[in-house]
Amino acid sequence: MTDPAATLLRTAAELDAYAPADGHAYAPVDSTADTGRTGPERAVVMTMGALHEGHASLIRTARAVVGRAGQVVVTVFVNPLQFGEAADLDRYPRTLDADLALAGAAGADVVFAPSGDEVYPGGQPQVRISAGPMGERLEGASRPGHFDGMLTVVAKLLHLTRPDLAFYGQKDAQQLALIRRMVSDLNFPVEIVGVETAREPDGLALSSRNRFLDPQERHTALALSRALFAARDRLAAQQALHARALAGGASEGRAAGLNRLGEARLAADAQAVARAGQDGGPAAVRAAARAVLDEAAAEQPPLALDYVALVDPADFTEIPDDRTAGEAVLAVAARVGATRLIDNIPLTFGATA
């Protein structure tokens, strides 16, 4: 027996009136009311369609959080405000029938797929949300206006769906950070939940754009995740050495003493431990990622790097080389053939466990 497809709804009025087969109607909370939320919760997963396993992971997580009594709504809307060129908008895949099936199988009750007129009655909005300085960095610099359009449609869809919780993938880390900031700064009554990036078995981050890669391009594209993992492993190795240095009192003097005794192997190890704090840190992380990406630039087809950046997750400014503790995001964007891909990984500096 196959899972039923999610129910397709086209208007906010239909969504408000929706009652599932068991007869339980979800009662949306008045967004202006200053009251605690009671009863079943509504979760929303916002997408532009062309759903894949990464979206399914978000839907499953949402279902697990709200439980069987809650309601999971998946939005499908290809937002024209997020596309700089009409050709990119036209090229974006639209697979609504398949989306309904995948959403239902993953645990969604509803796919809310509004028309452009439902979201933007009277045409594109004259008043939009500005992403501010954080929206001008990295992806914002590569795609001017993209985050303004993204935040505007997210705000609209939050009002139309009125969820208790909204789930977003960490693959779009800058987008997630901006949504969290908007919700906090503008007092949206919703909890934002980030979900770990879903990956193919070979490490490639799941994306609707992956379908545009031919086999050779896909091979080159794997450099994005390899670069992130190389940087992560470099940081882990340096932090492990640093922990040994703290625990064992390693020093350059001890290394020199071992060399005088003819213990070259132990001396090299002691020197590596002693220098762990000097040779690690943000510069080493960036260098490890860059080395992999530079190799991919020489492949056929080549990887055309847009950026690789180690940033503070709070505002997406670059982490200074002397940073020794705290959270960071290593983000990369590149083009392979005609397809632009992004990926990132969270890192923690100063961790010794």
Active site residues: 55
Alpha-carbon distance of 150 to 77, in angstroms, equals: 11
Q: Which residues contact 251 (CB under 8 A, 6 or more apart)?
A: 270, 274
Alpha-carbon distance of 315 to 112, in angstroms, equals: 31
Alpha-carbon distance of 324 to 327, in angstroms, equals: 10
Alpha-carbon distance of 258 to 333, in angstroms, equals: 45
Alpha-carbon distance of 88 to 108, in angstroms, equals: 28
Alpha-carbon distance of 53 to 18, in angstroms, equals: 26
Which pair of tokens denotes residue 349?
């500096």
The DSSP bridge pattern shows strands 339-349 and 326-336 to be antiparallel
Q: Which residues pair with 112 in a beta bridge?
A: 9, 75
DSSP category for residue 137: S
Identify whether the C-beta of residue 206 lies closer than 8 Å to the C-beta of residue 52: yes
Q: Which residues contact 254 (CB under 8 A, 6 or more apart)?
A: 270, 274
- State yes or no: cis peptide before 282, omega within 30 of 0: no
